[in-house]
Structure 1
Amino acid sequence: MKKKLGICIPLSDEEYKKVEEYCDITYIETNDMSEEDLCDKLSGNEIIVTMGEYAGKTTIDKWADNGLGFLINARGTPTMVDWQALHDRGIPLGHCPGRNAVAVVEFTVGLMIMLLKKINQAMIGMHDGYYLGEEKDNVFDYIEKKDVNWNYDEGSPYMTMGFGGELYGRTVGIVGYGAIGRKVAKICKAFNMTVMAYDPYFPKEKMEEDGAIPSTVEDLLKNSDIVSIHLPVTEETRGSIDDEWFNMMKPSALFINTARAAVVKQEALVKALEEEKIAGAALDVFWEEPIKKSSSSKDEKRYYDPSYGIVDL
């Protein structure tokens, strides 16, 4: 007998046919759907698959009363599901650890390169005309030269931003050595970087097998040129990255967060940047998304204006 499956994730035709061999499928689109409506529409299914939809205790209890035997949340960390409610009803929870790990890892290393090479600053400067010369009628009319190089004069990115840096030979501190952090470490090793890692729940001997140095938070922050955050949001980690963390980092260090904004105290990060306690930061996650417009204490050209200050990396 086929199982009753309620699912909120679209499947390709090929995938649908495979699942349909074993299940009677109820697929629902959940755009802007309330939890109450979600609960009603999926009630009566033996297996339920959710994604970004929230399922709290009331919902889970109703699903359990109507035959739910297995809940799957197709995220790396099933934060949108009341784990305790499932445990209390004896319902197993499936999820997808490392689901988008490769994408996050590549983006994390990309941010490291972007900050060190000052790619974002140069791009903004070009876009706003800061690094453009006088207007020319025909840009294809130029004198061939063996070597073309920007002079070290006023308006040159070399003078306003300084030279970029390299990953090669630097030290990266990875905070959170799970599916993502461990893959970041592997790529960083390929760049001939020294890798320091902090994760109290990951075996130190396995870190060492990977070529990473098991470290305390203090040692990692004091010695890293780049600090990369890969933590889930828990009661232990929420707001744990604060003034004390940034005060221990090098003034030339870079901070990268592609995990969750809630693990960082927003005011502490802004203060660290404005007071130049660290050299820069790149974020993939914010405390409110989309990030809201706000006033700034710095000039709008702060990304490439020499008056903003240059940190030699």
Structure 2
Amino acid sequence: MKILVTAEINQELLKELYEFGEITIAGWGKELRKLEEDDMIQLLKGKDILITSYDPITKKVIDECKDLKLIACTRANPVNIDIKAAKERSIPVIYTPGRNSDCTAEFTIASMLSISRKIPMAYKSLKDGMHLENKKVKNEIKEGLKEDVTWALGAGTPYVLFKGIQLKGHILGLIGYGSIGKKVANIARAFGMKIYVYDPLLSSVEINDNVQEKVSLDKLFRESDFISCHCKVDESTRGLIGKDEFEKMKKTAYFINTSRGAIVDEEALIEALREEKIAGAALDVFASEPIYKNHPFVIELDNIVITPHLAGATYDAIDNHTIMIVEDVKRFINDEKLLYEYR
């Protein structure tokens, strides 16, 4: 078998495949570059198996590479592959569901802590030279008292400006209860949070217990202290969260999104933040990426934490998807049932 690897991959874990065929590494796997159609066609001709991450595997690519027998995508959703064209050629597509669920769940909790405790804002203020003294301060202890260390007290001090809320005792509303949503719930439970879940595809029997409950979307928005999105984009979820939903939120509540920007009406969220209808938001995904330099999230709003689509960006996720792909490629070569075939 001849295998082309253009994926973000763990080279050490990939070595297990070398005994099964000739491997060519190019594109992202070699030089951190996404390939275009013509480059891919040139490299893929004569190859039996493709392992890719981000390259557009279009109908043109699939049709012109006559020897192609298997497409492996190292992502949780193979959106860069024309699945219909692959099926027309009877080419299986394998993918890696759940490969970055843990790190995305952890990032979601980190985002909640960042916005509710205003950690990035406090950090930036110090790096910008605010709330600092010109020289080292010597703390004097008055007679009869014990050492009391405070940064500063009074209006305009960090203690006042950056005061936030803890997670324990508050309600986390999860929109979507798949692999990532469940992991977020597990971590949040350890923090002592009560969990509300909105997922029309799950029975309440699978969710309800003493600390979590399946609820309507209306109840979730009205009662949650934190609301976090964890659903895929389809016709039922695109634009799911808009002006009406933000109007229902508590003024003290926070909105978190580490899933996809298309789920949210971004202009409605900007309005809610601008008018302080909600306490704040932490976003890792946006309606259009990268966001532009003069976006309100960047230059105007100070009740938001933004990150450039990093929730799944860990070396562990790369290890996970390499292990999954290597295992399934070996199964394909040995004519065994595939574990991660996309259907």
Report the TM-score when normalising by structure 2.
0.78
Secondary structure (helix, strand or coil) at the match of 1:158 reads helix
Secondary structure (helix, strand or coil) at the match of 2:228 reads strand
Q: Is 1:22 equivalent to 2:23 in the alignment? A: no
Q: Is 1:41 equivalent to 2:47 in the alignment? A: no
Instruction: Tell me, yes or no, if the aligned pair for 1:130 and 1:155 is still in contact at 8 Å.
Output: no
Equivalent-residue separation in structure 2 for 1:16 and 1:87 (angstroms)? 26
Alpha-carbon RMSD across the aligned residues, in angstroms, is 2.6
Secondary structure (helix, strand or coil) at the match of 2:2 reads strand
- CA 1:43 to 1:215, structure 2 compared with 1: closer, same or farther past 3 Å? farther
- CA 1:209 to 1:58, structure 2 compared with 1: closer, same or farther past 3 Å? farther
Secondary structure (helix, strand or coil) at the match of 1:21 reads helix
Equivalent-residue separation in structure 2 for 1:243 and 1:22 (angstroms)? 55
- CA 1:296 to 1:209, structure 2 compared with 1: closer, same or farther past 3 Å? closer
Instruction: Tell me, yes or no, if the aligned pair for 2:49 and 2:71 is still in contact at 8 Å.
Output: yes
Match of 2:147 in 1: 146
Q: Is 1:9 equivalent to 2:10 in the alignment? A: no
1:1-313 equivalent positions in 2, closer than 5 A: 3-9=1-7, 11-12=9-10, 14-30=12-28, 31-63=33-65, 66-133=66-133, 135-136=134-135, 139=136, 141-143=138-140, 146-161=147-162, 163-208=163-208, 212-294=212-294, 302=302
Shift of 1:97: 0.8
Match of 1:310 in 2: none
Which of 1 and 2 has higher RCO (CA within 8 Å, sep 6+)?
2
Instruction: Tell me, yes or no, if the aligned pair for 1:60 and 1:86 is still in contact at 8 Å.
Output: yes
Shift of 1:300: 6.7
Shift of 1:302: 4.4
Instruction: Tell me, yes or no, if the aligned pair for 1:198 and 1:217 is still in contact at 8 Å.
Output: yes
Range that drifts further, 74-83 or 113-122: 113-122
Range that drifts further, 150-159 or 180-189: 150-159
Shift of 1:10: 5.7
Secondary structure (helix, strand or coil) at the match of 2:208 reads helix
Alignment-mate amino acid for residue 26 of structure 2: I
Secondary structure (helix, strand or coil) at the match of 1:228 reads strand
Tell me the number of residue pairs that the alignment of Structure 1 and Structure 2 aligns: 296
Equivalent-residue separation in structure 1 for 2:113 and 2:22 (angstroms)? 48
Shift of 1:299: 8.7
Shift of 1:191: 1.2
Show CA shifts across 1:37-83 (max 9, x none).
112311332221110111122222223xx132221110011111122
Alignment-mate amino acid for residue 231 of structure 2: L
Instruction: Tell me, yes or no, if the aligned pair for 1:76 and 1:96 is still in contact at 8 Å.
Output: yes
Which contiguous aligned blocks of 4+ residues in structure 1 show a shift greater than 4 angstroms?
10-13, 295-304
Equivalent-residue separation in structure 1 for 2:25 and 2:210 (angstroms)? 42
Alignment-mate amino acid for residue 174 of structure 2: I
Instruction: Tell me, yes or no, if the aligned pair for 1:121 and 1:303 is still in contact at 8 Å.
Output: no
Equivalent-residue separation in structure 1 for 2:300 and 2:218 (angstroms)? 35
Shift of 1:296: 5.3
Q: Which runs of 5+ in 2 are unaligned?
A: 305-343
Instruction: Tell me, yes or no, if the aligned pair for 2:237 and 2:263 is still in contact at 8 Å.
Output: yes
Match of 1:311 in 2: none
Secondary structure (helix, strand or coil) at the match of 1:294 reads coil
